[in-house]
Amino acid sequence: MSSAFLERMKNRMKRDEEESRNGQFSKDEKIFKQLKEGKNVLRLVSQDYTFYTHWIAPSKYSKVKLFPDASFEGDDALRKNLFCTDYEPGAERWVEDEERSCVICELYRAVNAILDDNNSDLEQNVRAYLEDVAKACRPMKRTMFLCIDRDDPEVSPGKKGIKIVEFPRNLMDVFMSKVLDRGIDVIDADEGVDLVIEKRQKPTAGKKVEWIWTVDWVYDGKTIKESPLTEEERKYQRPDIEKMMYRKPDQELIYDKLLRDFKEMIDDARDAEGRKPQDSQDEEEGAPEGIVIPKRSKTQQGASASVKSKAKVEESASVSEDDEEDVPF
């Protein structure tokens, strides 16, 4: 239990437990390992990479639309999945208030502040709508590793290499418990082992798909089989996850393309903080007919609200497996 990897997993599990208590690439290259239903055999070769994203395009996971459909077309099209700039992956922390820049997180805080300020005064349909907006804005936790795919080691025709695999939250929980229970540094180049990850669909009454994950080792008889990397495997080119994933989006462009009602929520919050709001007239509104969103006053925007709304982002940032599972890049 002395390796840096195991210590990292121990600390990661502690952070994830605290969070739980509180609350697109070339298709020609097979850089991403998609965990299929059934058994998947992998050899992890890196530490975990954690970051947060916002899926902002219309999807089956969201009941609201944040942007006009045309926002995802043309030369200035928005990416459907945005890297959240309010989280620093390298430092593994949420940035301080004065460093915040993520417009979607800004909208997330504004919506939660409206819900908090008008806790008992909102009509049921308005509250339900705002809660759906907050869910659509909620940052999603993503965890990835570099791996060798034992089932299909090729990253391009005739070329073997390192792939990127994403571990959904529920899988990550099972994985951490497994490696810490046995004290195995699975990523060690010399003493690491292959993992057998099984994905099975959980029987449910409705249409909602849920998955059950199990993690085990590859055995030689009754003994866990070590899988030292070969000389060839040690020379494989490694994808740069930070370069590929941590793409900082144009926040001004994101704001400009938001539907008018959501711009006004942000503007109200900025105005209460003494920042000049922008003009958002003559644009598609956003909220359905009959939904009147309350305006916030400066008296409602205080230090306590800022602290509370920041906590909401951190508490809600980890998503359930059903939200996270099969989310496209």
**What percent of the chain stands above pLDDT 70?**
78
Whether pLDDT at 182 is above 90:
yes
Phi first, then psi: give them for residue 80, nearest 5 degrees. -70, -25
What is the separation of C-alpha 216 from the centre of its chain, rounded to a whole number of angstroms?
A: 25
Which residue's structure tokens are 């602290």?
Answer: 307
C-alpha separations of 106 from 15, 20, 36, 101, 313 in Å:
24, 22, 36, 8, 10
The 10 Å Cβ neighbour count of residue 31 is 15
Q: Sorting pLDDT into bands at 50, 70 and 90, what band is 326?
A: very low
Contact 151, 40 (CB under 8 A): yes
With H, G, I as helix, E, B as strand and everything else as coil, classify residue 85: coil
State pLDDT tens for residues 261-272: 999 999 998 888
Cα separation, 136 vs 58, in Å, equals 9
pTM over 0.85: no
Q: What is the mean pLDDT of the chain?
A: 82
State pLDDT tens for residues 45-103: 999 999 999 999 988 777 899 999 999 999 899 999 999 999 998 888 999 988 899 99
- Rg of the chain, C-alpha, whole Å: 22
Tell which wins on pLDDT, 24 or 29.
29
Per-domain residue ranges for the chain? 4-258+300-315
Instruction: Quote the pLDDT of residue 215.
Output: 97
State pLDDT tens for residues 87-96: 998 888 999 9
Contacts for 252 with CB less than 8 Å, ≥ 6 apart = none
4-258+300-315 to CATH, choices 3.30.450, 3.30.2310, 3.90.198, 1.10.3470: 3.90.198
Cα angle: 7, vertex 13, 19; to 5 degrees: 140
Q: Sorting pLDDT into bands at 50, 70 and 90, what band is 160?
A: very high
Say which amino acid occupies 316. S
Q: Sorting pLDDT into bands at 50, 70 and 90, what band is 293?
A: low
Tell which wins on pLDDT, 160 or 26.
160
Least confident of 29-38, 155-164, 172-181, 320-329: 320-329
Least confident of 86-90, 209-213, 287-291, 296-300: 296-300
Cα separation, 261 vs 280, in Å, equals 8
**Mean pLDDT across 195-202:** 95
